[in-house]
Chain A
Amino acid sequence: MKSNSPPPRTVSSFHFRRIYKQTQKTHPPFLGRAIEIMLFFSYFKDLVGREVTVELKNDLAIRGTLHSVDQYLNIKLENTRVVDQDKYPHMLSVRNCFIRGSVVRYVQLPPDGVDIELLHDATRREARGG
C-alpha cells in the first residue's frame, strides 16, 4: 500500500495550483462527470492531514484527520471520533474509516484551511471553460 506522507502544511496558491495541474494530467475528465469535480478533488488533496468533520446524509457526523480522497470524493479518515458519541455509539470501536462520497452532506473544514480567493478564482476559471 502506498504511503501517503502529507504535503507541507501551507495553503499557498502555488501548492494548490501544482496539485490542480497534476490532477488534470493524471485524471483526465471521465465520462459523465463535471470538470468541476477535478477542482474539489485537488482541493481535498491539498487538505490531507487536516482535521475535518464529515457530516453524512444520515445525520451522523464523524471527526477525523483527512487521510486521503479519491476521484469519487470518497474520504478516508484516521483517528476518528463520532461527534455525538452518546447518541451514536455505533462506531465506538472504529478509529479509521472509509466514507463513500455519495453519502457526504457536508465536510466541515478548519477556517484557516480555506483560501476563499483561490477557490473563487479557480471556480470562475472552470465556469469559463478551463
Chain B
Amino acid sequence: MAAGPGLESLVDQTISVITNDGRNIVGVLKGFDQATNIILDESHERVYSTKEGVQQLVLGLYIIRGDNISVVGELDEELDSALDLSNLRAHPLKPVIH
C-alpha cells in the first residue's frame, strides 16, 4: 500500500543517518521497514566537536529504531573521500525537539 518514496533505492548503499539526539551514523543500509526501522552494516559514528577533528567510532551491525531517525542521506563516496575529517571542526547537531 505504501507508495511514494521508500528507502529501497538506498539498500546496499552507504548512507549517513542523523538520529533524533543529533548523532551521525554512517553505514551500509541492509534493510528497512514501514516504520523506517533500519539495519545498518559496517556502521561507525562520526562525532563532531569544536575542539578536535571528527572522531569515528566503529559500531558494527546495528538496528536503529525508526522513531529515532531524522534523516537518511545517501553518502556520495567521492565527496566523502575528499573531506578532511581530521581538520573538520563543528558543533554537534542539536537534538530534535517536538
Contacts and interface: CB of A to CB of B under 8 A. Distances in A.
Interface of A: 1, 26-27, 56-60, 62, 67-71, 74-76, 80, 87-100, 102-103
A57 B70 CA distance: 9
Contacts of A88: 90, 93
A108 to B, nearest CB: 17
Nearest to B14: A93
Given A93-B79, A97-B74, A76 B69 contact: no
B4 A71 contact: yes
A35 to B, nearest CB: 17
Contacts of B77: 93
Contacts of A91: 16, 18, 71, 73
A89 B96 contact: no
A92 B16 CA distance: 10
Contact of B94 (A27, A58, A89, A98): A58
B95 interface: yes
Interface in B27-72: 36, 46, 48, 66, 69-72
A91 B80 CA distance: 10
Listed from nearest, the 5 A-B pairs whose CB atoms lie closest are A70-B4, A94-B73, A76-B5, A93-B80, A97-B73
A58 B11 CA distance: 26
Nearest to A28: B1
